[in-house]
Structure formats: C-alpha cells, structure tokens
Copies of this chain bind each other. A is one copy, B any other.
Amino acid sequence: MKRREVAKKLKELGKEILEEIKKGENPHIEIPVRGLSNVIFSGDTLQLGDKVAKRYFFHVAHAKKFMQTLLIASFCKSLIDEGIHASLRDMFYNLKRTLPNSKENTFDEQTESDPIVVDLEVTLNVLREQLHLNADVRGRVVGNVIIEDRGDTIDWSKLGSGGWAIPSNVEDLVFKKVKGEFILVVEKNAAFERLHEDKFWKKHKCILLTTQGQAARGARRLIQRLSQEHDLPVYVFTDSDPYGWYIYSVIKYGSMSLAHISDRIGTPSAKFIGLTISDIDKFDLKNWTIKAKEVDIKRAKEMMKYEWFKHPKWQHELKLMIKRGIKAELEALSGKGLRFVTETYLPTKIETQDFLP
C-alpha cells in the first residue's frame, strides 16, 4: 500500500466523523475487537474475527479514548505528509499536553497511547509502519542480496562481520537482486556469527538472518517480503525449548496480540529446522542438554493446547520434552565441535528435509 493510500484512509476517517457532526449525530469510530475472544486460527495464521466495537464521542466511558484516537490519527497524518517517522514514545511525548482550561491531560502514560495505535492499525487495516510509527529494532542479515533503501544501494554480501542492521521499517525497501535458495532464520546472534564466519550462506546459497531473540516487527516483515516476493523457503533455527519454538510460531503464524496483521508479518510457509528434542538423540547431544525448569514444562503444556501446535510432530516433541524434562540450546551443538553446526547439523537437516511443519 502506497503512502498516499494510507493518508487517504486517515483523511476518510476524519471526513466520516465530520459528516456525523454535520448531521447532528453522535460521532463514532468502528474498531474491530482485539483480544483472545476475537482471535481465530485460520489454519495458516492467527487472524482477527469479525467482532466490532463502536467508540462514541458523547459517551462518558468513550469520550477520552475517542479524543485520543483522533489525536493519534491526526499525528500520523502529519508524519505521512511530512515524510518523517517517529517512535511510539516520541509520539506520546509529542501529543502529551494539558487540555486548555482543565487539569486533564491528553495522555498521562504511554500505556494509553500504544493500544490506540493498534486500534488504528485494525480499523484502517494498515501497518503501524505505514502510519510512520517505528517499532523496536533488532536483527541483522547477510546474503547474496542487493537492496535499495533511502536512495542507497546496499549489498548484503559485502558487509564484513557485522551484516546489515534491520531497521524498524522495511516497507519502502526495494529488492534489486535476490540470489539464494532459502532463508535461514537463526534465533541467536552467536549462532549467526558462527555461520557467518564459516561462510555458510555462501556455500549453501542462502540468506542468513538473526532475529536476536523474539523477532521484531521489522525482521518479521522482512522475512515475509523476502520469502513471498522471491518465493524462498524459510527455515527457522531456535533453541530446543518452548520459548524458542514460540519464536518460530510467531514468525510463521503471527502472534495473538498482533493477530490483525498476521497476513502482513507472518510467513505461513516457514518450516522449523531445529533444534528438536529428537535431534538430541539423532545428533548425540545428550551431554549438553539442560534440565527443563518448571516454567518450561508449564509453557510446553500450554502450547500443546494451541491449535497451531496440534500437528502430531509438534505434539510429539512437546510431549517428549515434558516426559524427559530436558531442553537444549543452539550452543549445545558446539559440544560436538565448533563447526558441527555448519558442517554436519544444518547440512544433514536440509539434505534430509528433516523439518517440522
């Protein structure tokens, strides 16, 4: 969606409210309900259902939020018009003020303004990034790819040991050349550095990306764009524990709190390359496992109930973890030698297509 279209959507929101005012009606905004009661697993991704709530101006419980929604919509409109971006915190500070002749503030805490941004995303069906609001940044990427970003041509294959720092907003990035047979997404930076140093991405013709923990929105969107626009399989590589597996599921299906944008930041075709509990036997890693904590077991039990972990292979892994009470980190592979991950583990998994869905 182009910048102009997003600006138009914001303008129309304002127009509709103006119309209501002219007609003497109670101005309102329709906002799809977020929250678990309205989250559906489509089989492909987590999606929002069709429950909608109305927010009225003349309503004791709604008036303040109504005002806040319009303030933020107007702020985003001017960001887009000026062609600049802001963080959520910058926005909060910029909009925070005391209303004339009152002791009432527009916003007291950022916890008030953040959810309204999501309301707007849902209502207008746009991404926060398209509203020019930047999210957290995290993640780095290397590979045989040339992009254009802000007028610069950037070759991801020529960035030394550092790689390209993934920005919060990858909407305007243009792919000029994408050469690779798959995308390898690694949870941890240490494993990324190992693979990068061993030139794994050159040898195996892939794009190598680390999310550095839970994937930030910029990284998720970048994975999706690369995968969908260039028809590349995505293999996700995390610790063998519920936290790591959940990182995978968020990349693939989206998350519950951002269910309304799963189709724009999820990558349903992604596959899980490892680590699994079964890998511990397959690759003889038992000397380097860790005892699972109570919280891990609890989380694994919860995840067994999630629809998107219902596949028998996942149920098997989750059960195995609970039964054996163990987990393993990516670094466990270093127990077998530092280059075991590069030379044995990953090539074996890819060659035998030993993935989890």
Contact = CB atoms under 8 A, between A and B. Distances in A.
A29 interface: no
Nearest to A147: B160
B167 A164 contact: no
The residue among A91, A159, A329 with the most chain B CB atoms within 10 A of its own CB is A159
Nearest to A337: B94
Given A92-B331, A94-B335, A334-B86, A154 B160 contact: yes
A136 B153 CA distance: 28
The residue among A79, A136, A160, A168 with the most chain B CB atoms within 10 A of its own CB is A160
A90 B149 contact: no
A338 B90 contact: yes
A40 interface: no
B153 A158 contact: yes
A190 interface: yes
- The range of chain A's interface size is 35 or more
A173 B147 CA distance: 24
Contact of A334 (B93, B140, B338): B93
Contacts of A162: 149, 154, 164-167
A190 B90 contact: yes
Interface in A132-188: 134, 136-137, 140, 147-154, 158-169, 173
22 contacts: A84-B197, A84-B339, A86-B334, A87-B194, A87-B331, A89-B329, A89-B331, A90-B190, A91-B334, A93-B288, A93-B331, A93-B332, A93-B333, A94-B335, A94-B337, A96-B288, A97-B287, A137-B193, A152-B158, A160-B173, A161-B169, A162-B166
A153 B85 CA distance: 30
Contacts of A98: 287
Given A90-B334, A96-B287, 6 more contacts: A85-B193, A86-B334, A87-B190, A93-B329, A96-B335, A161-B167
A278 interface: no
A197 to B, nearest CB: 6
